[in-house]
Amino acid sequence: MKKGIFLVGMPGAGKTGWGRRVAARFALRFYDTDEMIEQREGKEIPEIFEAGGEPYFRALEQKVLAELVNGSAEPFVCSTGGGLPADPVNFRMMKEAGVIIYLKADINTLMRHLQHARKERPLLAGDTEHRLQQLLSARKAIYEQADYTFDTAEFSPEHIKPIIDLCIKQQ
């Protein structure tokens, strides 16, 4: 049963903002894996990275994703952390539980969206533009395996309506 709409993409692509809009527009539950992790740990992402490192954070991502796909009976929209789909187990879980939508944004757009949030993004420390280019280069092929790709510059919640209809019909 396909019930989830998973938004993947780079940090700063707008996954959380678009996810909230889409969920509100179509009266679906909304989840954000980073927010779920912060609630579970009682810490913000930078603190989690500092205390446990990236491997610990990635294990938390997989755990909350598994709980979400196994525990939600209703259709939902989920915004994922930028690195979550890079783990093949996570990607497979999302594919089996729903559809994956890649929200594509160019480096200039990402930089503009992240200009005030860089210190909140542990993987973007230092030269943010260079780090974004490295991450995009490493993740682009993974993101492009999504079921659908939308450029955020031309995206609207209405683009997802046929996808949501498909998911709901499979209930």
Spatial neighbors of 8 by CB under 8 A, at least 6 apart, are 15, 80, 82, 84, 85, 94, 100, 101, 102, 103, 143, 146
Would you state the pLDDT for residue 163? 76
pLDDT, mean of each 10-residue run, the chain (171 residues): 84 88 90 94 87 91 95 88 93 94 85 61 61 84 93 78 69 46
Domain architecture of the chain: domains with CATH: 4-169 (3.40.50.300)
Element (H, E) at 46: helix 45-71
Closest to 18 measured CA to CA, from 156, 168, 114, 146: 156
d(CA 108, CA 72): 36
Would you state the pLDDT for residue 47? 87
Would you state the pLDDT for residue 1? 47
Would you state the pLDDT for residue 109? 79
Would you state the pLDDT for residue 117? 55
Would you state the pLDDT for residue 115? 65
Would you state the pLDDT for residue 171? 46
- Model confidence, pTM: 0.87
d(CA 164, CA 109): 26
d(CA 148, CA 127): 30
Would you state the pLDDT for residue 128? 66
